[in-house]
Amino acid sequence: MLAGLLAGAADIGPGRVVLQLLDWLPFVSVDSGLTPVEQGLLFELRLPRVLLAAIVGGLLAIAGAGYQGVFRNPLADPYLLGAAAGAGLTTTVAIVFMKGDNQALLVPAAAFAGAVGGVLLAYALGNVAGRGGGTATLVLAGVAVSSFLTAIQTFLQQLKVEELQRVYAWILGDVGGGWTQIALVAPYAVVSVAIMMLHGRLLDVLSVGDDEAVSLGLDATRVRLVVLFAASLATAAAVAVSGLIGFVGIVVPHVVRRLAGGSYRVVLPLSLIGGAAFLVLADLIARTVLAPAELPIGVVTAFVGAPFFVAVLRVTKRVET
């Protein structure tokens, strides 16, 4: 977090940033030597950006852990059930067809609705297709819904090729946005994280198998639904403010599991922290490598994340997940 605040395209010395942060603390007054413009920059641009990266990273990672727990599948990620495709479609519609100066609010609203809608659609379809078919049916429904929605999105994009670049930029992800974005995402973040934290122990029970869970007096289906709901809410909130940032949701929970064991009571909170740290770091790289130009953060997460993931897998070869 601190590193993210200290570095950036604008040239403000790290030392002075620390002083300025101290100055903002109540009852402390230090002269940091920053001009008002630099202070504004730090407070209006850099601080919210670092916070947003942390929130989004944490949400995606914990949602990924939640999904992996529900589906008992290490390859599950927060976008599995159509959240990404749904958000992609509605955002494309918002960008392409709803011109206006309220796009700053319209796009997150559309992305959120699309992410939630995509998951609901997959869930409804899964239920219709196979009563009691369990998670496999749901995953397949998610795949179908994702493909279908992505097809519509692609069709719309090629109708309006001139908007392609804007849609593409959104898909690659961006955690700049200021305090408004943080205000938008905060309530959903708090609710979804709280629900998932409360269900960590139950996910542990689920992981041993449904029969055992039932014998322990646990309503497996209900737990799955609740966690799925919370994880999808977290994903939707993250997508709404930052676009489709890949890799965080699938990798971070695995890294945590490798390093700290498989109990969801541990994995969920650590994923939250790990995801936050990972995305802050990725954003830091995105902001500084080509400064003053920026890379889209989605590029960085995959580029940095993949080798890192391989390294973790190698180091922890002995540990069985």
Partner 1 sequence: MRPVRTAFAGALLGVLALAGCGQSSTTASPSAAPATAAPATAAGFPVTVEAGNGSVVLTQKPGRIVSLSPTATESLFAIGAGPQVVAVDDQSDYPAEAPKSDLSGFKPNVEAILARKPDLIVLANDLDDVVSELKKVGVPVLLEPAATKLDEAYDQIADLGAATGNKAKADEVVAGMRKQMEELAAAAPKDNKLTYYHELDVTPYAATSGTFIGQIYGLFGLTNIADKAPDAAGGYPKLSAEFVAQADPDLVFLADTKCCAQSRDTIAKRPGWSKLSAVKNDQVIALDDAVASRWGPRVVDLAKQVGDAVRKAVAG
Positions touching partner 1 (CB under 8 A) are 8-12, 36-38, 40-41, 44-46, 48, 96-101, 103, 158, 161-163, 165-166, 169, 174, 176-180, 287, 290-296
Q: How far is CA 235 from CA 82, 87, 89, 298, in A?
A: 11, 10, 16, 15
In terms of CB distance, is 196 or 284 closer to partner 1? 284
- Tokens of residue 32, six digits: 């940091």
User: Residue 152: which H helix or E strand, with range?
Assistant: helix 134-159
Q: Which is nearer to partner 1, 19 or 273 (CB)?
A: 19
Q: Indicate the burial class of 143 (C-beta count within 10 angstroms; 0-12, 13-18, 19 or more).
A: middle
Nearer to partner 1, 48 or 78 (CB): 48
Q: Which is nearer to partner 1, 29 or 165 (CB)?
A: 165
The C-alpha angle 192, 302, 204, rounded to 5 degrees, equals 40
Q: How far is the CB of 206 from partner 1 (least distance, A)?
A: 42
Q: What's the rounded Cα separation, in Å, for the pair 321 and 318?
A: 9
Q: Is 109 helix (H, G, I), strand (E, B) or coil?
A: helix
| Whole-angstrom distance, CA of residue 171 vs CA of residue 301 | 13
As a whole number of angstroms, the distance between CA 252 and CA 124 comes to 29
CB of 177 to partner 1, least distance (A): 7
On whether the CB atoms of residues 14 and 6 are closer than 8 A, the answer is yes
- Residue 262 near residue 203, CB atoms below 8 Å: no
To the nearest whole angstrom, how small is the minimum distance from the Cβ of residue 230 to partner 1?
A: 30
Q: How far is the CB of 45 from partner 1 (least distance, A)?
A: 4
- Closer to partner 1 by Cβ: residue 134 or 178: 178
User: Closest distance between partner 1 and the C-beta of residue 291, in Å?
Assistant: 7
Between 162 and 320, name the residue whose CB sits nearer to partner 1: 162
Q: How far is the CB of 220 from partner 1 (least distance, A)?
A: 45
